[in-house]
Amino acid sequence: MAALSAARVARPVVAALVAARLAELRVARRNEAALRATGAREHGAAHFPAFFVLHPAWLLGMLFEPRPDEARPRWPLLAALAGTQAVRMWTMRTLGEQWTTRILITPGRERVTGGPYRWLRDPAYAAVAVEVVCAPLALRAPRTALAAGLANAALLAIRIPAEHRAESTRDVPSRPVG
């Protein structure tokens, strides 16, 4: 049996990432509607559309970046990618209905500090930062890894401070939730 090429492995990996992102968008929309109905206010909306450019470009880059036919996937990096997905799912589960793709803050609602938030203030962003570099490197798409990693870092340099500023509008001290 011939070894699988990185280009061939890229198709199902990217398909799985696309399916996960689409499912997450459905959850995010449902959660956004519920949060807005309870008085949540959006913060940092100006930079949000850039993520809808970055993520599809990242996914397409992994499919279409030229690579040698004989290039094999880097299996340890694919295992690390699975780890990033587990962390992302853990953060979504911990945040529950507060998880969205936008920065929505409900005044008076406590900030979640349980689950992975016990150890990191921004575990989902950390997981995605690793994911956007790890996945393309695993699939032998180094230019995509570099471009997506730098673009994601630039966006997070805007988003994380915006989210931290928004958190200060809660008017409630933090305690473990979730």
* pLDDT (tens digit per residue) in 84-127: 999 999 999 999 999 999 999 998 888 899 999 999 999 999 99
Query: At the top level of CATH, which class does the domain 13-167 belong to?
Result: mainly alpha
The pLDDT, as a whole number, for residue 33 is: 97
> Quick check: 172 pLDDT over 80?
no
Helix, strand, coil percent content, the chain, rounded in steps of 5: 70, 5, 30
Structure tokens at 74: 């880097």
> What separation in angstroms does the CA of 106 have from each of 11, 26, 111, 147?
40, 20, 10, 34
